[in-house]
Structure formats: C-alpha cells, structure tokens
Amino acid sequence: MYKILKKEILNPTVTKMEIEAPYVAAKAEPGQFIILRVDEEGERIPLTVAGYDRQKGTVTIIFQIVGATTALLNMKEEGDCICDFVGPLGKKTKVEGLKNVCIVGGGVGCAIALPIAQKLHEMGCKVTSVIGFRSKDLLILEKEFKDASDRLFVMTDDGSYGRQGNVCVPLNEMFENGERFDEVITIGPLIMMKFVVKAVEPTGIPCTVSMNPIMIDGTGMCGGCRLTLNRDGKKVTEFACVDGPDFNGYEVDFDEAMLRGSMYSDFERHAYEKTCNLFKKEAE
C-alpha cells in the first residue's frame, strides 16, 4: 500500500498528490509514468510522474478528474493509501546536450512539462516556457514554471489571465523575431500539440511531443495507445506506453490519434456518472 502524504486541489478538476513510494522515487526521471490502482477492485491507470524527491522517497502525481477511477482517487485524503503504484515506466525525456529549449504545455499537460523544465533549468539550460489554459480558474503551476524558466508566457483562451490566445501566439512571435531553440518540447491536448508542431515545422527545429493523452492501460496490451508514424517515407506502428511516451512530432499522425482517443470518451463519461451516482446514494 502507498500512503498519500499530501493532497492539494489545484483547480476544480485537477488535483495534486504526493505519494510515499521510495523505490519509484529512486529511479524516476522526467517524462516517465506510473500505473496505479486505487483499490483491489479498481482498474489500472497510467499517470505521468509530475515530480519526485529521492531523499524523502516520494513521487508527485497531478491528475484531472475525467473518469470513474480519477474520481475515486480524488476522494482519497491525506493519510489514505493507494493499492498499487508501479513504476517508473516508459522512456525518460532526452535532455542531454540541450542549451536552449522551449517548453510548451497546455492544461493538465503542464504537470508533465514541469519536471522537464525543472531538469533543464538545473542543467543550466536556457528555458522558455509557454503554458496555456482555457481560463484563469483552470490555471495551475504558474509559480513553479516561473522558478524553472528564464522566460514564461501565460496564455488563456478567454483573456481572463496573462495574454489572450493559444500557445502558438507567442511561439510564432518568437520565430518571426528570429529566435531559435535547440528543441521545442510540447505536452498537452492532442489538438494543441498538432498545431504546435505545425508552427515549429517551418523553422526545422526538432519538436518532441508527449503522447501521454492516449495511454490507457500503460502496458501496450490493449493497443489503445497505438500510433502511426510517418518515418522515412514509411508508415510505422509504435505504442505510446512502450516506445514513448515521447516521439518526434513531425512523424505523428495526430488525426488518427485523436480519432482513437475519442473512442473511449462515452465509456469514460458513463463510468464517471455511474460512480458519482453511487456515492450520492450512499450519502443520502
């Protein structure tokens, strides 16, 4: 069993937890993920490592309440335990040799981008971060990104905080001003990453995307995170959880990935509604 040491509500749908997991913390690196089960009867879900403290033996996860399992996890409090917490899994983000990087995060994807920005900052790399949200009330991790970045752009779709517009606005402005980076790393909704890649492509700058949003069981067995990559003129099939989660953004077929991701949305919604109704009845 893995104890929840800290719990923090970051916004109405996003929660941060610090989990006591010394063996996972000892090996975790930015970009990797864990698989957890809330209880013995629960399903296994993958969540990306949002931070770790090797000395304390803790791993931080940040998750959005989108289905039954994340709703159940969110009901846990400090001092409660999680049944399973397995990891680290997946390949770590490659940061060696980078001197000037732009990190682009969207929504809860910023939780995945943050430890990468922090690692780069610790290495002495110049970090420019662009983070985007639909509105001010959904903003998360601004202070943490300020501390890990040489320059930070905060964007909101409705203009309620920071600058109005999507993450591609400052990105295009920087490119128009002649700025270049060793690499652009982007993590967020699939549609956002698709357009970030399109914005970066004319510059020829390497662009890495994290395909965490399409992972389901985290082992490759379900095939739900299957990706079609256009590599050297050939179509190649790989799996986000086994071969990634990081991929060359220029190779990813985002349209296919978005179509596959939408296949499970109705199931998740019904499971979430059923879980909420069960707890409402118990409360009555």
Q: Note if the bond before 206 is cis, omega within 30 degrees.
A: no
Least confident of 92-96, 102-106, 133-137, 239-243: 239-243
First-to-last C-alpha distance (Å) of the chain:
30
Residue type, 201: E
Mean pLDDT confidence for 39-55: 91
**Per-residue pLDDT tens for 184-216?**
999 999 999 999 999 999 999 999 999 875 555
Position 118 confidence tier, pLDDT thresholds 50, 70, 90? very high
Structure tokens at 161: 């905080």
All domains of the chain in start order, with CATH: 2-89 (2.40.30.10), 95-210 (3.40.50.80)
Q: What is the pLDDT of residue 66?
A: 86
Mean pLDDT confidence for 104-111: 95
Q: 222 versus 178: which is more confidently predicted?
A: 178
Position 156 confidence tier, pLDDT thresholds 50, 70, 90? very high
Q: Which distant-in-sequence residues (6+ apart) come within 8 Å of 266 by Cβ? A: none
What does the DSSP 8-state code read for residue 218?
S
Q: What is the pLDDT of residue 152?
A: 98
Q: What is the pLDDT of residue 54?
A: 97
* Polymer length of the chain: 284
Nearest to 30, CA basis, from 93, 91, 90, 86: 93
**Per-residue pLDDT tens for 221-265?**
565 677 788 888 888 888 877 777 899 999 999 888 888 765 555
Least confident of 119-128, 136-145, 209-218, 253-262: 209-218
How much is the pTM? Answer: 0.86
Position 49 confidence tier, pLDDT thresholds 50, 70, 90? very high
